[in-house]
Amino acid sequence: MTAELPPQASPNIQRIGHPDFTQDLDLTADELRSLLHLAADVKRFPQNYSSKLFGKSIALLFEKPSLRTRMTFELAIQQLGGFSILNDGPIGSREPLKDVARNLDRWVSGIVARTYLQKTVDDLARWAKVPVVNALSDTWHPCQALADMQTLQEHFGALRGLKFAFVGDGNNVAHSLMLNCARLGIDFVIANPPKYDASPEVIARSTLIAAQTGCTVTATHDPAEAARGAHAIYTDVWASMGAENEAAERRTAFADYQVDEDLFAQAEPNAVFMHCLPAKRGEEVTDAVIESPRSVVFDQAENRLHAQKALLLMLLA
């Protein structure tokens, strides 16, 4: 005889106040916590959400390459009962962007866009009457940060009081992580080479938020200082998409910022290694660290699916 499982009550889907998700702060801190809660439920009970986007079509616009973001958005939409349609290439070069936006919003319920300029995704949001989601721009990678916060929460349970070290370029991924850590009470340290600082505005904004939530934001040029006592060490490529022509000079500038076993050993014994992927082994991280049992990079990649489902539900369901 098999025991009958009690029916599981799903959390209420809280509708996001902001019409779009073009940057991290379009979610309030409460909405962010709600999203993480929903993402955990979606991951556990995917069948409870399988028709929540029934009848909705979503356009995916990609100016840059992608494996994880594109596949997880396509799958998320499909697994929620919706339909996605993809267009690769520059947005707004064949006709004005405002026309692209006002064509798309007649056909689809939402737009997901990966762009070079943040202005491109902001302008799409300005002109389209349907929600626009930032799937990475040169300035932010907010969907990545959602999955990363979900991964930390799964791994450590509570987030408040953790120390998070980002070692590498002060780039889009660093910006989104900095803001999200500050909002969730996680001490955030970035260690980057001189001249590759994160945006001073993002540091100032995150520092202000951290003061309210009771944590800290620190910028240093010393990777060991960042790694010491950290619960998570995160890195990303030294040359992001669009900066490939700087790869050689960046390899020199970042040579002392590789996450290797010595640096990882300075973190807490139970610390995790994190990377948004794709990774360049032998540059920002050694093969030994990314392949170590404490590397959670594939949990992060998996959670892109669940966190984005939660986001789409909160924007569109």
Strand boundaries in 109-159, DSSP class E: 110-114, 132-134
CB count within 10 Å of CB 261 equals: 10
Q: Is 237 in the site for ligand NVA (CB under 6 A)?
A: yes
Q: Which residue has the tokens 């660093």?
A: 174
Q: Is 276 in the site for ligand CP (CB under 6 A)?
A: yes
- With CA atoms as reference, report the closest residue to 233 among 285, 185, 183: 285
Q: Is 277 in the site for ligand CP (CB under 6 A)?
A: yes
Over the window 50 to 79, marking each residue x when it contacts ligand CP by CB under 6 A and - when it does not, the resulting string is ----------------xxxx----------
Sheet strands side by side (includes 217-220): 217-220, 187-191, 163-167, 232-235, 272-275
Pairing status of strand 110-114 against strand 132-134: parallel
Q: Is 173 in the site for ligand NVA (CB under 6 A)?
A: yes
Burial 212-248 (b: 16+ CB within 10 A, else e): eeebbbbbebebeebbeebbbbbbbbbbbbeeeeeee
Q: Is 136 in the site for ligand CP (CB under 6 A)?
A: yes
Over the window 245 to 284, marking each residue x when it contacts ligand NVA by CB under 6 A and - when it does not, the resulting string is -------------------------------x--------
Q: Which is nearer to ligand NVA, 136 or 162 (CB)?
A: 136
Which one of residues 41, 105, 148, 236 is an interface residue with ligand NVA (CB under 6 A)? 236
Q: Which is nearer to ligand CP, 66 or 139 (CB)?
A: 66
Residue 102 to residue 313: CA distance in whole angstroms = 23
Over the window 191 to 230, marking each residue x when it contacts ligand NVA by CB under 6 A and - when it does not, the resulting string is ----------------------------------------
Judged by the rule CB under 6 A, the positions of this chain that interact with ligand CP are 66-69, 136, 144, 276-278
